[in-house]
C-alpha cells in the first residue's frame, strides 16, 4: 500500500489538468480490501481498510480532524471498484499532502498562495467584448472590493495581460490572514487557488463570503462566455469535471476541517 500512497502524494503537487491526463493513462492498482471505515482515534478519525489504518507516504497514520471528513475519505476508498483510481480520491490526496508536506512547509505554501494574490485572475480584465467586460465587473468587483476592505487596501485592476504589481502591504495582510489556519485548511486553500486561479476566491470561501457555487461560477466567467459562443469539446468538459471534484473536496475541507 505504501507505493500507492506515495503516488497519491506525488499527484497532489501537479497541475490538475496534467494530473488528469497522466492518471487516465496509468495502469491502476487492484483493490485489495473489502471495506473502508473511519474510526475515532486519539487525535481524530483514522481510515481503516479491513481493520488496518491507512498510512501516509511519510508512514504516519492518516488522521482527519472531523467525523464528516473521516466519513468522506472512507467513502472515497469504498467507491473504488476493481481498481483504485487516484483521480477519484481528491480528499485523500489533500489530506496526505497536508499531513506529510504542508505541515513541514507551511510557510512556503502560504507564500505561494500569497503570490497568486499578487497575480489574481480576478484582477485581470478583458477590454472587449462589452458583454464580457460587464459580466466580469458584475461578478468579480464585489469579491475584489470585499477582499480589499478585509485586508485594508485596494487591489489594482489590470486591463489586458501586462502585469501590474499589487501593494506589498496588501499582500502582507493577505499572508497574515491565512497564517493561523491548519495545514489541512492551507492545503485546501492552495487547491482552490490553483484550480480557480484566484487566491481571492479561496479567501472568500474561507471567510464564508461566497458559497461554493458562487465561487465556481466566478472562476469560470471567461470560460463560460467562450462556451456560450463556441461550445465545449469533450476533453474540456472532462477536465472541468475533474477540477470541480478537486474544488468540491477542498471546499469540504474548509467547511468541515
Nearest residue to 183 via CA among 63, 86, 72? 63
Average pLDDT over residues 160-188: 94
Domain ranges of the chain: 2-86, 106-256
- Under the banding of pLDDT at 50, 70 and 90, the label for residue 2 is very low
Residue 128 to residues 196, 220, 222, Cα–Cα distance (Å): 22, 17, 11
Orientation angle between helical segments 16-25 and 2-12, nearest 10 degrees: 150
Q: Are 57 and 248 in contact, with CB atoms under 8 Å apart?
A: no
Residue position matching grid coordinates 457555487 = 213
Q: What is the pLDDT of residue 85?
A: 87
DSSP string, 27-38: PPPBP--S-EEE
CB neighbourhood size of 2 (10 A): 10
Distance CA 128, CA 38 (A): 51
Closest by Cα among 189, 164, 9, 184 to 111: 189
CATH 1.20.810.10 fits 106-256, yes or no: no
- Per residue in 57-108, pLDDT tens? 899 999 999 999 999 999 999 999 999 888 899 999 999 999 999 999 999 9
Average pLDDT over residues 106-128: 96
Helix axes 234-256, 199-206, angle to 10 degrees: 40
What pLDDT digit, counting tens, does each position of 199-241 carry?
A: 999 999 999 999 999 999 999 999 999 999 999 889 999 999 9
pLDDT (tens digit per residue) in 242-253: 999 999 999 999
pLDDT band at 163 (very low <50, low <70, confident <90, very high): confident
Q: What architecture is the 2-86 domain classified under in CATH?
A: 2-Layer Sandwich (3.30)
By DSSP bridging, strand 124-125 and strand 158-159 are: parallel
Pairing of strands 63-64, 52-53: unpaired
Amino acid at each position: 500500500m505504501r507505493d500507492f500512497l506515495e503516488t497519491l502524494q506525488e499527484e497532489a503537487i501537479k497541475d490538475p489538468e496534467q494530473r488528469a491526463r497522466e492518471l487516465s493513462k496509468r495502469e491502476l492498482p487492484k483493490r485489495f480490501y473489502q471495506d473502508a471505515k473511519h474510526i475515532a482515534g486519539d487525535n481524530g478519525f483514522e481510515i481503516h481498510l479491513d481493520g488496518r489504518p491507512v498510512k501516509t507516504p511519510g508512514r504516519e497514520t492518516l488522521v482527519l480532524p472531523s467525523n464528516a471528513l473521516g466519513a468522506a475519505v472512507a467513502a472515497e476508498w469504498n467507491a473504488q471498484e476493481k481498481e483504485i483510481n487516484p483521480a477519484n480520491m481528491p480528499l485523500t490526496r489533500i489530506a496526505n499532502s497536508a499531513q506529510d508536506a504542508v505541515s513541514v512547509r507551511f510557510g512556503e505554501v502560504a507564500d505561494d498562495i500569497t503570490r497568486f494574490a499578487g497575480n489574481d485572475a480576478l484582477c485581470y480584465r478583458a477590454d472587449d467584448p462589452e458583454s464580457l467586460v460587464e459580466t466580469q465587473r458584475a461578478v468579480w468587483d464585489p469579491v475584489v472590493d470585499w477582499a480589499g476592505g478585509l485586508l485594508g487596501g485596494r487591489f489594482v485592476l489590470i486591463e489586458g495581460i501586462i502585469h501590474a504589481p499589487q501593494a506589498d502591504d496588501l499582500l502582507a495582510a493577505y499572508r497574515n490572514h491565512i497564517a493561523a489556519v491548519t495545514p489541512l485548511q492551507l492545503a485546501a486553500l492552495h487547491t482552490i487557488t490553483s484550480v480557480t486561479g484566484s487566491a481571492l476566491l479561496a479567501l472568500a470561501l474561507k471567510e464564508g463570503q461566497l458559497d461554493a457555487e458562487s465561487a465556481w461560477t466566478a472562476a469560470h466567467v471567461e470560460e463560460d462566455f467562450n462556451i456560450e459562443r463556441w461550445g465545449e469539446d469533450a476533453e474540456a468538459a472532462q477536465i472541468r469535471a475533474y477540477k470541480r471534484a478537486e474544488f468540491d473536496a477542498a471546499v469540504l475541507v474548509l467547511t468541515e476541517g
